[in-house]
Amino acid sequence: MSVKSKILILAQHNGVAINQGTAKAITAAMNIPDCSIDLAVFADDTSTIAAEAAKLANVGTIHAVTTTDENWKLAQGIAPKIAELATNYTHIFGPSTTFGKDVMPCVAALLGQNQISDIMQVIDATTFKRPIYAGNAVITVESTHDKIVATIRNASFKTADMTSGSASIENHTIDNAQTDTKFVSLQAGNSERPDLQTAAKVISGGRGLGSEENFELMYNLADKIGAATGASRAAVDAGYCPNEMQVGQTGKIIAPDLYVSFGISGAIQHLTGIKDAGTIVAINKDADAPIYEVADIGLVGDLFKIVPELMEKL
Amino acid sequence: MKILVAIKRVVDFNVRVQVKPDGSGVATDGVKMSINPFDEIAIEEALRIKEAGKADEVIVVTIGNNSAQQQLRTALAMGADRAILVESESSIQSLKAATSLLNIVQKEQPGLVIMGKQAIDDDNNQTPQMLATLWQRPQATFVSKLEINGDTALATREIDAGLETIEITLPAVVSTDLRLNEPRFVKLPDIMKAKRKPLDIINIGETIEGFFDKELAIKNYEPPQARQKGIMVETVDELVAMLKEKGLI
């Protein structure tokens, strides 16, 4: 096989583990015929995380780039190095997470290319499908650029094998680290529940919950069945739950096997975030709520009666 | 300090767009157009910074056809001081937009550029990051809280893991997320006043000299795959039985 497409994927991690979005980007890349796949991983100390990255299957080389002062978290801290590494590649992919969305357009600009955002399907090495208008339309985009810079929509691809790989590790450093942007702090959410973006089951609440206290019902039910918790924009705006729980056009786009929504009416911006879910269950007191248009199973009723009953029967 | 706010005229967020039957685009004729909601938040933030005495002037800019004057007038009615229309008959892609905006930035020398994190039509989420890169200045994307402290700013960003705070040295580019603020309503007397505020029109060609345009080609538009019609159940027992049958619990 002669390699026609050389693909570089920006790996995302939290210092300890590789984010599954990286493995999904690998799956997307493998849809490109005759390709080779390498990874770039940035960290102040790359020793642990580069070894983790090397376990991802179908990857040839890990470019492990050592940064200083937590620059690996910052777009301006890493984009120039990615653009430099890109010299030897035809495609540069990143996950369509807040991390990838922050960094990849900088890489595209440095390379003088437009970016293809949120690839949901690979047609061939230069043609891709992506959603626009909150998923109300899908476009087929063809690139004639020298290099294709893109982000990969998490919900559209399965997680590639993250354990059986044996990539080689090549070490790099950054000269002239930037100092105009500094990482200050991260206020992280609950880490005991499964990650919303990759969970098999999600329990999600909307404005119908009515208060932050009532949102406990969602957390309890989620813990009962081992699910992650999500929310509509209305619930986050109302302060019932933290921002990282928001599902939808501008929040997280997810594809769990099971999505159970309580008190969510189903604005189009929310529905775009759950369209790829296996089974959608909607529970709402309004029988005309748009959420029922996409739900596989609908139950009309008072969530404050239904949740306790579910707690008992699940 | 000047603040430059970049906005885009888009199909109103309440409109559910339809793909044209021949796959050549989405139907936008006669559809309500508005300021991209994230950009409205950007205008509001700029006005609040000015009202807090930390900026002297708010300039709003858009790239679009002549009809985009409406959105600029709305921004002026909200309180922006002056407006610039970079006129382009055809729609343009992110790199060209960022290149054109860079030209405006170089002329105006703002201390801060604020814009929405994405336009709700093409959902690209690219232009702010590209502008920051071309300008060689810091970016703070998806911002839900912004605090200007002299020549630096503390920006809280909504990221997948939670809320991240970074410090950026100004000038810089900030892209807004939903919870940064709630934009004000425009009052009728302000609409009248806005008519007398300056609105300059320049051709996009003047802002992108030497730019080699490579557009991504859009080959086809199609509606998304519809989900199959589901079923309604009457009781929790039925629901639980169905979930068990599907092996989901």
- Give tens-digit pLDDT for B88-116: 999 999 999 999 999 999 999 999 999 99
Of the candidates A109, A131, A242, the beta carbon closest to that of B130 is on A109
**Residue B69 lies inside a defined structural domain of this protein:** yes
Structure tokens at A167: 């990539």
Question: Mean pLDDT across the stretch A281-307?
Answer: 97
Q: What is the mean pLDDT of residues A181-197?
A: 90
Distances from the Cα of A186 to the Cα of A31, A72, A222, B143, angstroms: 35, 14, 25, 13
Residue that the structure tokens 């410090």 belong to: B167
Q: Has residue B188 been placed in a domain?
A: yes
ipTM exceeding cut-off 0.90 for this assembly? yes
Q: Which part of chain A has CATH 3.40.50.620?
A: 5-173
- Is residue B137 predicted with pLDDT exceeding 80? yes
Q: Among partner residues A134, A180, A233, which is closest to B178 by beta-carbon distance?
A: A233
Mutate to test the interface with A, among B115, B126, B160 (most CBs of A within 10 A): B160
Cα-Cα-Cα-Cα torsion A245, A248, A254, A260, nearest 10 degrees, comes to 70
Which residue in chain A is spatially nearest to B169 when comparing CA positions? A180
pTM for this entry: 0.95
Q: How far apart are CA A260 and CA A255, in angstroms?
A: 12
How many distinct helices (H) and strands (E) make up chain B? 6, 13
Strands B152-159 and B139-149: antiparallel
Q: In this structure, is residue B54 part of a structural domain?
A: yes
pLDDT reported for residue A250: 86
Statement: residue B3 has pLDDT above 80: yes
CATH number at residue B22: 3.40.50.620
- What pLDDT shows up at residue B188? 93
Provide the pLDDT for residue B227.
86
State yes or no: pLDDT of A176 exceeds 90. no
Residues from chain B contacting residue A295 (CB–CB below 8 Å): 230
Separation of first and last alpha carbons in chain B: 58
Kindly state the average pLDDT of the residues A282-310.
97
Interface of A with B in 229-258 (CB under 8 A): 233, 236-237, 242-244, 249-250, 252, 257-258
Answer yes or no: do B223 and A137 touch at CB < 8 A.
yes
Query: Residue A237 and residue B179: Cβ atoms within 8 Å?
Result: yes
- CATH 3.40.50.1220 in chain A, residue ranges: 201-313
Give the residue from B87, B101, B158 showing the smallest Cα distance to B129.
Answer: B101
Of B17, B98, B138, the CB nearest to A109: B98
> In terms of residue numbers, what domain contains B28?
2-216
CATH topology of domain A201-313: Rossmann fold (3.40.50)
Contact A43, A72 (CB under 8 A): yes
pLDDT in tens, B46-60: 999 999 999 999 999
pLDDT of residue A146: 87
Segments of chain A assigned E as strands: 5-10, 35-43, 61-66, 91-95, 115-119, 121-124, 127-132, 137-142, 148-152, 168-173, 181-188, 201-205, 228-231, 258-262, 279-284, 297-300
Lowest mean pLDDT among A1-5, A114-118, B142-146, B173-177: A1-5
Domain count of the fold of chain B: 1
- Give the mean model confidence (pLDDT) for residues A99-124: 98
Terminal Cα distance for chain A, rounded: 52
Q: Give the pLDDT of residue A1.
A: 59
> Is 90 exceeded by the pLDDT of residue A191?
no
- Tell me the per-residue pLDDT of B160-180, one tens digit each, with 9 for 90 and over: 999 999 999 999 999 999 999
- Apex A179 CA angle, B211 and B58, nearest 5: 60
Residues of B in contact with A197 (CB under 8 A): 160
Query: Mean pLDDT across chain B, nearest whole number?
Result: 96
Please report which confidence band the pLDDT of residue A121 belongs to, taking 50, 70 and 90 as the band edges. very high
Residues of A in contact with B130 (CB under 8 A): 105-106, 108-109
Region of A212 on the Ramachandran plot (φ > 0 left; ψ -120 to 50 alpha; else beta): alpha
A195 has a pLDDT exceeding 80? yes
> In percent, how much of chain A has pLDDT > 70?
100
CATH homologous superfamily of A5-173: HUPs (3.40.50.620)
Element containing residue B202 per DSSP (H, E): strand B199-203
pLDDT at A2: 82
CB atoms within 10 A of CB A7: 26
Residue B141: which of A99, A67, A195 has the closest Cα?
A: A99
Q: Are A261 and A280 in contact (CB under 8 A)?
A: yes
A 10 A CB-CB count for A309 gives 15
The pLDDT-based confidence of B212 (bands split at 50, 70, 90) is confident
Alpha-carbon span A218 to A264, nearest angstrom: 12
Alpha-carbon distance of B234 to B204, in angstroms, equals 59
Task: Output b/e per residue, B96-135; b: 16+ Cβ within 10 A.
Answer: bbbbbbbbbbeeeebbbbbbbbbbbbbbbbbbbbbbbbbb
Taking contacts as CB-CB distances below 8 angstroms, the residues of chain A near B133 are 76, 79, 105-106, 109-110
User: What pLDDT was estimated at residue B226?
Assistant: 86
Please return the burial class of B77, using the count of CB atoms within 10 Å of its CB with bins 0-12, 13-18 and 19+: buried
Q: How confident is the model at residue A192 (pLDDT cuts 50, 70, 90)?
A: confident
B249 touches chain A (CB under 8 A): yes
> Is residue A5 over pLDDT 70?
yes
